Amino acid sequence: MTNTLHRYGDAASFHDDFIFIAIPSRGRNDQDCVPKLQQFLRMALSFGPVNLGDARHGGALQPSKSMNPLCHWNRDNQLNFESVISGIAAPATVAAVFDDAVKAENFAKAVVEADLGLSVNISTSIEGAEDCCEAAAICRHSVGYSLGFMDNGDQLPSRDLLQISTMCGHGMISNSLTRKMIDWVKEGRRTPDEAACYLQRFCSCGIFNPSRASRLIASAARGAR
Amino acid sequence: MEINPRKCVACGNCTYVCPMNAISIDPVSRRATINRDECVECYACYNGMSQEHLNPTLVRGIRKLFQLARVRFDPEPDVCPTAAFEPDQLTWPRSVRRAFSDPRVPHESTGVEGRGTEEVKTNDVTGRIGEGEAGITIEFGRPGVGVRMREVQVMCHELARAGVGFEKKNPVTSLMSDVESGTIREDVLNEKVLSAIVEIKVRAEQVEEILRLTEKVRKQIKTVISVGVGARCDADGQDRIVGPILERLGQDLVRAKTNLGLGRPVAVAAPLRTLVRQ
């Protein structure tokens, strides 16, 4: 799963994007790991994450299968972290997303101290991850670099769209919907935060960063570069 | 995936949410329809959209009135008002599409959800990539383009010709009829998926060759490729081997996934013989 590796953007654009991933390895340490995964996410809660997720069940903002028609005027955009944590029933990849470097560094410290025995990865800029490691007084074990996208030049959408839609690395957030959301914000039909929530519901593993998305949507709607 | 024509009200919301742009409103039937050949069975429409269960006839009537009056209702853009999407029973080989496209379905070959790979994320437990080695992931189709397995095979053939071995615990490898030559089963070659990842491990000095080969194959196929290169750090937490090679090749290394090295296999009881020796 390279779902966070190929997020599009330059290093500066990742200043508010830190994803911590805890993953059990099948057959090696996935036995009885559910309480550890839950502990990982519960620890994250005290550092103010912007999203939590479980690869099997999704993130903290999910679509409803029986929506009340009145929701068109009063949509519930509250993040439900508790449902993510309690929903973990089997070994899975779980993630905690932060939009602040200090929070991320403090969480890194807490994770190292907790010593859960699960693999923990940080997905962000290379410098951002090094800073977290330094704060937690730990050396990197391995690193997986993104070399970005190779395209023949006519298949990928604009940078504005890619920066937002690649925040679901599984490709569940379509470029068309992202374009539509930028346009709606441009027309004043929705706020950037509301637009980010619509996109967030399509992320099936909870690694979408609504805070960064809101910033990028607002920026794209203004036509800023 | 199917859209029930008795329920669809042609609101058009789903035409935007499909990552493959495979849904459109049929101008004759005035219903949303799915291009089955382009649909990758990712279930983004079914899983990602919220659902109301409104009466289709009522909704169509209201929509017609609004249309006549040129009034635009401003509904939520991620809702299917009549819950018109209905998953169908996928059979082989079409089921391959969902396995490679819907991240909530774990790959049978690896048991890992998402794209089915562990890469360096569990390297602290598996020790798969050692110092002086590079784990390379070549992903096809993402974002928003998709790929036929036939195109993935082009790359696999070239890699095999270069003498590269494929990661055994990988969904693409599991579809190969001949791993030595990188040949994928004939019956799945025309299947389109949202993303497929080929995983290989090479010596660090082979990285340049593989990247040049990837660049060459990219020009032969009609999709997007994203490459990831994993490396084991030394005792100081530095990557002094693979990273410098990539930089020398002109790669602008910005983003990475960093394994903190906190994982370990669950301790197993030591065999009696070992205990005795101790």
% of chain B with per-residue pLDDT over 90: 84
d(C-alpha A123, C-alpha A22), whole Å:
11
Confidence of residue B72 (pLDDT cuts 50, 70, 90): confident
Confidence of residue B269 (pLDDT cuts 50, 70, 90): very low
> pLDDT tens digits, residue range B9-50?
999 999 999 999 999 999 999 999 999 999 999 999 999 999
Is residue B92 situated within a structural domain?
Answer: no
B94: pLDDT strictly greater than 60? yes
Residue B114 and residue B226 in one domain: yes
Is residue B263 situated within a structural domain?
Answer: no
Confidence of residue B273 (pLDDT cuts 50, 70, 90): very low
> pLDDT tens digits, residue range A44-71?
999 999 999 998 889 999 999 999 888 8
d(C-alpha B183, C-alpha B165), whole Å:
13
> pLDDT tens digits, residue range A102-121?
999 999 999 999 999 999 99
Give the model's pLDDT for residue A194: 97
Quick check: B261 and A11 CB within 8 A? no
> pLDDT tens digits, residue range B48-60?
999 999 999 999 9
Total domains in chain A come to: 1
B74: pLDDT strictly greater than 90? no
CA distance A195 to chain B (A): 10
CA distance B256 to chain A (A): 4
Give the model's pLDDT for residue B104: 86
Is residue B158 situated within a structural domain?
Answer: yes
Residue B149 and residue B198 in one domain: yes
Mean pLDDT of B107-127: 71
Give the model's pLDDT for residue A153: 75
Domain CATH for B46:
3.30.70.20
Candidate from A71, A117, A123 with C-beta closest to B257 = A123
Which residue is closest to B114 within chain A, CA to CA? A1
Mean pLDDT of A137-164: 92
Per DSSP, the residues of chain B read: -EE-TTT-----HHHHH-TT--EEEETTTTEEEE-TTT-----HHHHHSEE----HHHHHHHHHHHHHTT------TTEETT--EE-----TTTHHHHHHH-TTS--TTT--STTS--GGGGHHHH--S-TTEEEEEEEESTTTT-EEHHHHHHHHHHHHHTTPPBPSSSHHHHTEEETTTTEEPGGGTT-EES-EEEEEEEEGGGHHHHHHHHHHHHTTSSS-EEEEEEEE--TTS---SHHHHHHHTT----EEEEE-S---PPP-PPPHHHHHH-
Confidence of residue A154 (pLDDT cuts 50, 70, 90): confident
Residue B78 and residue B123 in one domain: no
Mean pLDDT of A150-158: 86
Is residue B172 situated within a structural domain?
Answer: yes
Mean pLDDT of A78-97: 96
Is residue B55 situated within a structural domain?
Answer: yes
CA distance A91 to chain B (A): 9
B109: pLDDT strictly greater than 60? no
A173: pLDDT strictly greater than 80? yes
Residue B161 and residue B241 in one domain: yes
Confidence of residue A2 (pLDDT cuts 50, 70, 90): low
Residue B133 and residue B180 in one domain: yes
B108: pLDDT strictly greater than 90? no
Is residue A92 situated within a structural domain?
Answer: yes
ipTM of the prediction: 0.95
- For residue B138, the enclosing domain spans 106-248
Is residue B271 situated within a structural domain?
Answer: no
Total domains in chain B come to: 2
Give the model's pLDDT for residue B277: 39
- For residue A113, the enclosing domain spans 11-222
Task: Say if CB B43 and CB B108 are below 8 A apart.
Answer: no
Interface test with A, best of B262, B264, B268 (most A CBs within 10 A): B262
Among residues B55, B86, B117, the one where a domain terminates is: B86
Chain A residues within 8 A of B101 when measuring between CB atoms: 171
Quick check: B256 and A145 CB within 8 A? yes
CA distance A153 to chain B (A): 9
Residue B70 and residue B161 in one domain: no
Chain A residues within 8 A of B144 when measuring between CB atoms: 156-157, 165, 171, 174-175
Give the model's pLDDT for residue B271: 42
% of chain B with per-residue pLDDT over 70: 91
Q: Out of A18-22, B165-169, B226-230, which region has the weakest mean confidence (pLDDT)?
A: B165-169
Query: What are B30's two structure tokens?
Result: 């005035």
